[in-house]
Structure 1
Amino acid sequence: MSEHSLPQTDLAAQPDPAAQEDLTAQADLAAARAGDDAAFTRLVEPLRRELHAHCYRMLGSSYDADDALQDALLRAWRGLARFEGRSTLRSWLYTVATRTCLDLVESRGRRALPMDLSPSSDRAILEDPPLTEIAWLGPYSAGDLAGGPVARYEQREAVELAFVAALQHLPGNQRAALLLFEVLGFSAAEIATMMDTSTASVNSALQRARKLVDEKIPAVTQQQTIREIGNARLEEIVTQYSTALERGDADALVALLTEDVTWAMPPMGHWYSGIKAAMDFAVEVPLTRCPSWRNRTTTANGQPAVACYLGTAPDAEHFGWAITVLNLRGDKICGVTSFVGPEHFALLGLPASVD
């Protein structure tokens, strides 16, 4: 052999990473069935984030999603011996998680936004106590969800506020069928097995669910809007909103809003529709009656957001007050949803207070 020639390699002897990964998974599955909880953790850990997102879409609350996922994984651990390998482990875990969520939907009901409860107010309501008896829709941290298409919706599109809010109007079985088919890419036949029903029933549920959801969500998603305006313009809009709030600058704020903008602050029950009503509220409350704001730009539900900290004076410590999620149409803000409550800050990995 020439000194310049390469040695021949036995390709058959080279390890196949996919095959090796499959062997490892099979070994972990066998160990988990034998009671090895560490092996079970290794099996489910790569799927934990997407399962949690599925539970959030079903339930509309990160806290409910936490409970559902914990319960689902406990059910899966206890029932692992019944997993016969006829489907993938991922499909089986989605079956367990979906059925767990359906149990919670039945017992806890749906999550709401102020728009679901009453007509909009045409002027600022100064006495607007929180409605603690309502199960409110909550924000979601979607920072590490995949951005590529899975089925009809991207993962980030599938946690946008408008989509998750629309889902809450569906009965549990329709909600589950739509998510499993449109977001996660399971077939109608697979969903029928997962939900212990017929393929015809799944197709019927999908038809009814699509009709309602399509009526309630915008034709253009927030992900499409963000791509169209670009990151630089998006950052500029969010910074301008944040600065206008901190400075109490009504003119700067109104320049950012569409004529039909909506503004809601769950758990407050009142909400505002149209620039006149929204600005009446903004001027009367956040721009005037709140002593001092410190804001941090962030993201929630895959959308631009602002973490709003409220202080008694500019030089005082400011405490987490609300996570404000912004809906855009073109390069204008068409929706402001401020989720009031310090508990939302930890969900997004944000500090409880700032100087």
Structure 2
Amino acid sequence: MPQPTPPDPNAEVECLSRAQAGDTAAFDRLMAPHRRQLHAHCYRMLGSPFDADDALQETLLAAWRGLAGFEARSALGTWLYRIATHVCLRMVSQRPRRITSPEHGAPLQATAELGEPVAGPVWLEPLPDEEWASATSPEDPASTLQRREHVALAFVAALQHLPGTQRAVLLLREVLEYSAAETAAMLGTSVASVNSALQRAQKTVKERMPAAHAQQHPPLGGQQARDELLARFVRAWEQRDIAAMASLLAEDARFTMPPLPAWFDGRRFALMFFAERVFQTPWRLQPLHGNGQAGFACYLQQAGDEHFRPGGVVLLRLRSGLIGSIDSFIDPAVCRRFGMPDVLL
């Protein structure tokens, strides 16, 4: 299994020796190539980048405390993933499962009342692409697609339905590509138990995922068609054009907006929400990417305010040249995570 390593293996050996002797700067250099992938692993396990922050911090602290006893019988990355996985398993046992809007309640068929925000560690939260995507390692298109599928909102949401151990097994085996024997060693269990857990996890994820990872397939016509679809979406939203928006949405399109519990199922009701609520104020959209999906930072202008201010982060699921879902995250903490300024200049 490929592991993140520094360009010079000898440098890692020297760095490890210095870190084991208590050199904190050497430890930081040793961890640097692993931090991003460890964080992504914790995010998949926990469904929240903020929880993943906590898990990564605890993982690094445990690694620092235990590094003197690391004898390099396995790769450093393997040792770190073992620590991170056990940290996440403990957190999974102590925190509520992250959910999506359809799991919280039934869709609305009117827009007058959207409910009060549901606070607390409840909702599945998005991850900015710059926090997980490699900025330096070129990949072939198939590898890029697979990496996006492994961080897609639908995949991470499906993982949250698994018991902790099944979640860990699926990720270690299918995402990180460890063998059954390696996974069993990391989790302190048997190969038979790993294989059994993997089968059960695969079945649950398949049942919970939209049809065959379709959310990651580009529209017919490739990148150009995808870009044109996104440009039309921006124009329709900013110009508050219901007819144009209707031409972009799949018949079964969904619109969600955590931490508000309200969500709308189907093009008819999504368009009703656009017409009666969203399009009552001016908007400006700027492109962003999260969870391997295209999206937008959405800024709205309230009556009496000359400025456009953060309204939410929107991620789109594209399917067969149409938009299959609009997942809007209106938590200010999520907006800040994606780098949205308080005022759009």
CA contact (8 A) 1:148 1:155 kept: no
Matched, 1:163 2:155: yes
C-alpha separation in 2, matches of 1:118 and 1:213? 21
Q: 1:205 to 1:137 in 2, by over 3 A?
A: same
Q: Structure 2 counterpart of 1:197, which letter? A: T
C-alpha separation in 1, matches of 2:69 and 2:187? 16
Identity rate, percent: 44
**Shift in Å at residue 228 of structure 1?**
5.2
Larger Rg: 1
C-alpha separation in 2, matches of 1:152 and 1:197? 32
Matched, 1:261 2:253: yes
Q: Structure 2 counterpart of 1:280, which letter? A: M
Matched, 1:56 2:43: yes
C-alpha separation in 1, matches of 2:49 and 2:212? 25
Partner of 2:127: 140
CA contact (8 A) 2:307 2:344 kept: yes
**Shift in Å at residue 153 of structure 1?**
7.5
Partner of 1:339: 329
**Shift in Å at residue 272 of structure 1?**
1.2
CA contact (8 A) 2:114 2:262 kept: no
Q: 1:233 to 1:351 in 2, by over 3 A?
A: farther
C-alpha separation in 1, matches of 2:221 and 2:176? 28
Q: Secondary structure at the match of 1:26?
A: helix
Q: 1:273 to 1:175 in 2, by over 3 A?
A: same
TM-score by length of 1: 0.89
Deviation track 1:283-325 (CA, whole Å, cap 9, x = no partner) reads 111012xx22111111111101011111125971111111011
Matched, 1:130 2:117: yes
Q: 1:334 to 1:151 in 2, by over 3 A?
A: closer
C-alpha separation in 2, matches of 1:162 and 1:19? 32
- How many pairs were matched up? 336
C-alpha separation in 2, matches of 1:95 and 1:150? 27
Partner of 2:287: 297
**Shift in Å at residue 345 of structure 1?**
2.7
**Shift in Å at residue 56 of structure 1?**
0.6
CA contact (8 A) 2:148 2:216 kept: no
Partner of 2:12: 25
Q: Structure 2 counterpart of 1:217, which letter? A: M
Deviation track 1:245-275 (CA, whole Å, cap 9, x = no partner) reads 2221111111100111111111111211111
Q: Secondary structure at the match of 1:354?
A: coil
Q: Which of 231, 234, 246 does residue 223 from structure 2 map onto?
A: 231
After alignment, is 108-117 or 311-320 more displaced? 311-320
**Shift in Å at residue 131 of structure 1?**
1.0
C-alpha separation in 2, matches of 1:151 and 1:306? 25
C-alpha separation in 2, matches of 1:19 and 1:48? 12
CA contact (8 A) 2:216 2:318 kept: no
**Shift in Å at residue 218 of structure 1?**
2.7
Q: Structure 1 counterpart of 2:317, which letter? A: N
CA contact (8 A) 2:15 2:27 kept: yes
Q: Structure 2 counterpart of 1:164, which letter? A: V
CA contact (8 A) 1:320 1:341 kept: no
Q: How does 1:159-308 map to 2 (within 5 A)?
A: 159-221=151-213, 224-226=216-218, 229-288=221-280, 291-308=281-298
Q: 1:206 to 1:119 in 2, by over 3 A?
A: same
* Structure 1 gap ranges (5+): 1-17
CA RMSD of aligned residues (A): 2.3
**Shift in Å at residue 119 of structure 1?**
2.1
Q: 1:159 to 1:66 in 2, by over 3 A?
A: same
**Shift in Å at residue 26 of structure 1?**
1.0
CA contact (8 A) 2:151 2:291 kept: yes
C-alpha separation in 1, matches of 2:308 and 2:86? 42
CA contact (8 A) 2:154 2:209 kept: yes
CA contact (8 A) 1:264 1:336 kept: yes
After alignment, is 49-58 or 120-129 more displaced? 120-129
Deviation track 1:317-350 (CA, whole Å, cap 9, x = no partner) reads 1111110110111110011110012222332233
* Structure 2 gap ranges (5+): none
Q: Structure 2 counterpart of 1:226, which letter? A: P
